[in-house]
Amino acid sequence: MKKMTSSNTVSSWNEGQVAKWLQDNGFKEYVSIFKRHKIDGYVLITLKESDLRSPPLEIPCLGDIKKISKCIDILLQSENHGSLNINKLCDYQTEGRRTNRVNSTDSNDSVDSLGQGLFEPELWKTAISFIYCFIVMLFTSFVMVIVHDRVPDRRTYPPLPDVVLDHLPMIPWAFDLAELCASFMMFIWIIILFFHKHRFILLRRMFSLSGTIFLLRCCTMLMTSLSVPGEHLHCNPRSYTTREQKMKRTVEIMTGLGMSMQGVRSCGDYMFSGHTCVLTMLNFFITEYSPRGMTTLHTVTWLLNMFGIFFILAAHEHYSIDVFIAFYITSRLFLYYHILANSRSLKSPDYKRTRTWFPMFAFFEGQCLGIVPNEYAWPLPWPELFVNYYRKKRH
């Protein structure tokens, strides 16, 4: 393959330059059909695998469809690094190359330049996302201390009318069951992270999304103080006269993860439900990054999510509007984030708009091109039994 460089951006290529790119990368038989449909650089970088296999292009060879699709990804990545030289990156004849496929792989094997370029772990970004999430959670704990003293007196401001709580008897132990549902889902998620080959990308996404959702929750808690949702809640203001006392209480909430099972009881943090956010986030991450064929697991996590929400309402710990808004915000943010990531929005011609409106997304996802494959591997060099098992699975 020949060297293909240009001082212009890919989107500014004309049809002749696209034809040259196809020839240099071994796809000369498709030059005529690309010219016939007036595919220039702008159109090229918007092509997806479905476009290549469907009319009017309808490329008959599956191998060529996959290769052209990957070459487009690599072309965009090369441009992002400031060079359009893809002579080395797009060489499908290189010895030892293996495609980026969705199956079990051995983590000790070296990743080819194609897969490594598309899904680099970028540990430093994962560390930054963790720090961001940690700071937000600490700030959330501090806000919970502040809003507790602002809860309206229930003798003056009784619980608000609620169409669900007014017809649902209060179950004292239901809130503990909601936290057990969340704990079980967290256990499942930890197992998935342990085996997932791209675990650091998953962690980065979880930390950034969780931090953003709970930062938004801090704003809503500070803006409006709702009366307690149940008569059983005794929320008397606590006299924290010194800064040290407030910080001590903040640390108690933080270390207890805001869970009643850990002895954390707080009031005023109603709009919106943090427990619902955690349940929903775990459900969506588990269903997104577990094998597609594990329908039983996906059904179980959805049931745990719904039952967890029911138990929160049955305990009369939140108004139904708190739970509804929490589920809606968490699910929408998860879906919007992944739609942007999976559609290669940072590599489209109007990528500058995406970077302007979603700077944190652009920072964390700048080097991820396309859908993160659900590949699994044994992450440790021992025991040898598991290492050999995953090596055989790969072959």
For residues 325 and 314, what is the distance between their CA atoms, to the nearest angstrom? 17
For residues 91 and 147, what is the distance between their CA atoms, to the nearest angstrom? 60
Catalytic residue (one of 153, 322, 350, 395): 322
Let me know if 106 is a catalytic residue.
Answer: no
| Two structure tokens written together for 344 | 């290669």
3-state SS, one letter per residue, for 223-251: HCCCCCCCCCCCCCCCCCCCHHHHHHHHH
Let me know if 198 is a catalytic residue.
Answer: no
| Two structure tokens written together for 309 | 């929400």
For residues 313 and 249, what is the distance between their CA atoms, to the nearest angstrom? 26
Question: CA Rg, the chain, in Å?
Answer: 26
| Two structure tokens written together for 45 | 């970088």
Residue 195: cis peptide before it, omega within 30 degrees of 0 = no
Let me know if 318 is a catalytic residue.
Answer: yes
Q: Cα-Cα-Cα-Cα dihedral of 88, 89, 91, 95, to 10°?
A: 90
Query: Are 268 and 236 in contact, with CB atoms under 8 Å apart?
Result: no
> What is the b/e burial string over 276-299, where b = at least 16 CB atoms within 10 angstroms of the residue's CB?
bbbbbbbbbbbbbbbeeeeeeebe
Contacts of 181 (CB under 8 A, 6+ apart): 279, 304, 305, 307, 308, 311
Query: Are 118 and 36 in contact, with CB atoms under 8 Å apart?
Result: no
Written as one string, the DSSP assignment of 103-115 is: SB--TTSPPPHHH
Count of H-run helices and E-run strands, the chain: 16, 0
Catalytic residue (one of 318, 338, 350, 395): 318
For residues 27 and 220, what is the distance between their CA atoms, to the nearest angstrom? 55
Catalytic residue (one of 148, 196, 275, 316): 275
DSSP bridge partners of 104: 376
Contacts of 14 (CB under 8 A, 6+ apart): 40, 41
- List phi, psi (to 5°) of 376: -125, 145
Active site (catalytic) residues: 275, 318, 322
